Amino acid sequence: MLETIVHYIILALNTFSVIILLFGVGKAMIDFFKNEFNNDDQSVISKKNNSVKIYLGSYILLSLEVLIASDIIETILNPSIEDILILAGIVVIRTAISYFLGKEIESTEI
């Protein structure tokens, strides 16, 4: 019974992560097209698009953090050595992506 509940929690977290990502991509697309079809100077459009990139990056980071939490919960249910090693690899990869994406966001903030 508890395992079934936790399985649905994991599914909900994974779904929530995808929703966060899609929401951020959708908003970024709308902002991007608004910027491109504006009659602004190219440098102004470039600055606005950098802002969109920062905005999208924050959604990607949030989505990755939710996925990491979901994977940790899933591994707690199945604590075999193989699952722990897979989780470690996933966490390392996602953490590296989060770190470098965060650094890029910091370096491009206006």
Query: 66 with 10: CB under 8 angstroms?
Result: no
Per residue of the chain (110 residues), what is the pLDDT tens digit? Answer: 888 888 899 999 999 999 999 999 999 999 999 988 888 888 888 888 888 888 898 898 899 889 888 888 888 877 788 878 887 888 788 788 878 877 877 777 65
* Residue 72, token pair as written in the block: 């940790």
Q: How many CB atoms lie within 10 A of CB 20?
A: 19
Q: What is the pLDDT of residue 109?
A: 61
Instruction: Please report which helix (H) or strand (E) contains residue 44, including its range.
Output: helix 42-77
Q: How many CB atoms lie within 10 A of CB 81?
A: 7
Q: What is the pLDDT of residue 19?
A: 97
- Which one-letter DSSP state was computed for residue 23? H
